[in-house]
Chains A and B, each alone.
Chain A
Amino acid sequence: MNKLSPAKEEELLRYLDGELDAVEKTNLEAEIQRSSLLKIRVEELQFVRSFLMRKTTLEAPSKNFTHNVMEGLDSQPVMSLFSPRKGLLLLLGVIIASVICLMLLTHGVFDQTTTSLIVEAPQNKWMQDVTLAIPFNGKILVNVIIFLNLALALLLLDRTILRPLFQKRTSMGY
């Protein structure tokens, strides 16, 4: 049994959807009359089309649907950037980084890094051979990084795990 070409099948679909112009339609209809293969295929596609058009009707939600929505308007939607799993992994990463920084800090790795940043000022006729010295303490910098890491960890804990969890519990009526 011969198989129809993709172009012919496409033409049949367009025919059933009423997308062919008058000439194309007449030609195809004549062709269908001559070919039993085309006739069978049109019947099959016609059946699928009518089934889809008939069967896909609107479904009715529960009677208290609108009431539930209106009741829920006060709850903020869960707006998390990450899924709980990704959030947990990121949280673990942040905690591990903080712990490593703390360990390095307690072992005195940054004790020797107190230094000055020397910046050479641009030279002009008023300022010649002037260097600017900015005191720089590595320990303070690491402390700031640890603090920022912990703040990020708390934020992640709140946004990706605790808030979605409690919102879900609230919506489930616990």
Chain B
Amino acid sequence: MITAEEEYLLIDRILAGDRNLYATLVDKYKSYAYTLAMKVLGNRSDAEEAAQDAFIKAFHYLKGFNKQAKFSTWLYRIVFNTAISYKRKRKPAFQSIENSIVEYSERADNKTEQDDKHTFILKAMAKLNEADRLAIQLFYIKEFSMEEVADMMGQNINTIKVRIHRARLRLADELKVILKQEALTL
């Protein structure tokens, strides 16, 4: 695991011409970048393409990286913006969170009550407005702080806080409604 200082040195060496070292940065952040793109695009192949594109963009813009900021935050902003522009370009091909419900439920080996609840929450999540859903999904990706989510989405931290709280309350409400409906159909 490389530290922030080592990361800055690495960036200096990449800028000095040792471009193969960029693979170290890609390896370190690829899972985060891919997950982030997945949250925005909801589609594996598009997410992979967008995340790769974002890394290529980041490499070309590396000279402009201000070392007062964290490299990860800077990179995630590029990934987020790239994913958003992919989404705008490929609107008809966009798969909503409902598609991932199938994916998750297929993964479930045993249909326990807990698994059903997870499916219900994913259904409830699909009902959230897009910005709230993105904010809550990004916030609960490991290591993304509220400041980072705000920075990535280009929004005020208070707005993000409101979005996340509202989304959590709404999810709890939706879950209650869905569970009631399920109980009635039994």
In the assembled complex, A23 has its CB within 8 A of some CB on chain B: no
Q: How far is the CA of A48 from the CA of B53 in the complex (A)?
A: 33
B19 within 8 A of A: yes
The answer to whether A58 and B142 touch (CB under 8 A), given A65-B26, A66-B23, A73-B19, is yes
Q: A9–B165 Cα gap in the complex (Å)? A: 9
A53–B168 CA distance with the chains assembled, in angstroms: 12
Complex Cα gap A49–B165 (Å): 11
- Contact A77/B34 with A47-B175, A51-B118, A62-B48 known, Cβ cut-off 8 Å: no
Given contacts A69-B52, A72-B56, whether A58 and B35 have CB atoms under 8 Å apart is yes
Chain A residues in 8 Å Cβ range of B140: 52-53, 55-56
Cα–Cα distance between A51 and B59 once the two chains are bound (Å): 36
* Chain B residues with CB under 8 A of A72: 52-53, 56
Asked if A61 is an interface residue, CB under 8 A from chain B, the answer is: yes
Contact of A77 among B47, B56, B118, B137 (CB under 8 A): B56
A49 touches B52 (CB 8 A): no
Contacts known (A52-B140, A69-B26); A10 close to B35, Cβ less than 8 A: no
Contact of A13 with B by CB under 8 A: yes
B32 within 8 A of A: yes
Whether A119 is near chain B, meaning CB under 8 Å from some CB there, is: no
Contact with B along A54-84 (1 / 0, CB 8 A): 0111111110011011101101110000000
A1-54: which have CB < 8 Å to B? 9-10, 13, 41, 44-45, 47-49, 51-53
With the chains together, A138 CA to B38 CA distance in Å? 58
Minimal beta-carbon separation of A169 from chain B (angstroms): 14
Contact with A along B18-31 (1 / 0, CB 8 A): 01101100110011
Q: Is the CB of B60 within 8 A of A44?
A: no
B23 touches A70 (CB 8 A): yes
Instruction: Return the chain B residue nearest A69 by Cβ.
Output: B55
Task: Say yes or no: is B57 at the interface (Cβ < 8 Å to chain A).
Answer: yes
- Could you tell me the distance between the alpha carbons of A62 and B53 in the complex, rounded to whole angstroms? 14
The answer to whether B165 and A44 touch across the interface, beta carbons within 8 angstroms, is no
* Cβ contact within 8 Å between A70 and B26: yes
Residues of chain A within 8 A of B27, CB atoms compared:
66
Between A and B, 6 residue pairs with Cβ closer than 8 Å are: A10-B165, A51-B121, A59-B35, A61-B30, A65-B26, A66-B30
A contacts, CB < 8 Å to B: 9-10, 13, 41, 44-45, 47-49, 51-53, 55-62, 65-66, 68-70, 72-73, 75-77
List 10 additional A-B contacts (Cβ < 8 Å) besides A48-B172, A69-B56. A51-B117, A51-B118, A52-B140, A55-B104, A61-B30, A61-B51, A66-B23, A69-B52, A72-B52, A76-B60
